[in-house]
Chain A
Amino acid sequence: NAGVTQTPKFQVLKTGQSMTLQCAQDMNHNSMYWYRQDPGMGLRLIYYSASEGTTDKGEVPNGYNVSRLNKREFSLRLESAAPSQTSVYFCASRISPGEQFFGPGTRLTVL
């Protein structure tokens, strides 16, 4: 089992460019999450998906969109990247109530 995989690991974008961060899990979990991590801010929830076909906004959804393509995959899209979106992005899936399994992260820089 690979657990939670994220691609790419690193990305540099120019302001206004778009990109999609990919996340996949092979643990048959229903719920999946996207977080961003910034220094001094801890983890902030961007979007989550309780099950295939459903998505909901978290704390900081502005500037992002998500797609729960199937049970395995949950992608995060930046339509027009801004420097404020420079961050480390983590995908996670839920093992049990509250217990989450994290991917290795994507380090995104927006110039």
Chain B
Amino acid sequence: AQSVTQPDIHITVSEGASLELRCNYSYGATPYLFWYVQSPGQGLQLLLKYFSGDTLVQGIKGFEAEFKRSQSSFNLRKPSVHWSDAAEYFCAVGPYGAGNNRKLIWGLGTSLAVNP
């Protein structure tokens, strides 16, 4: 069955520290992979995406993620976290469905808190 697992429900880091958020997936074909961020009280915003090619992808706000096919992972990283990075982060995989009926499989999210 297709699924996305974000093993860490909540993570706290200090400002300036490095960050890695984990995402593991189960998917029958080569996936499209996404990380979205949700700031408090806001909608979701796409951070970065992987469709094909270079397995290290760069996104907005200084984030990057690496696709590792052998580990079925797509972990999100940032070298130095800022207080404004405190948010909920969602990993998603897809699309599944035929034709125009394309949907995403969502992880449950990781809540990031940043200590000053």
Contacts and interface: CB of A to CB of B under 8 A. Distances in A.
B72 to A, nearest CB: 17
Interface residues of B, number: 24
B108 A41 contact: yes
Interface size range on A against B: 20 to 34
B100 to A, nearest CB: 4
Contacts, number: 58
B32 interface: yes
A98 B100 contact: no
Interface of B: 9, 32, 34, 36, 42-46, 49, 90, 92, 94-95, 99-104, 106-109
Interface in A28-66: 30-31, 33, 40-43, 45, 48, 50-51, 56, 58
Contacts of A101: 46
A45 B32 CA distance: 18
Contact of A48 (B90, B103, B109): B103
Contact of A99 (B9, B42, B46, B101): B46
A30 B100 contact: yes
Among A33, A43, A56, A104, which residue has the most Cβ atoms of chain B within 10 A?
A43
Given A42-B108, A97-B32, A104 B42 contact: yes
A42 B92 CA distance: 11
Contact of A50 (B32, B92, B100): B100
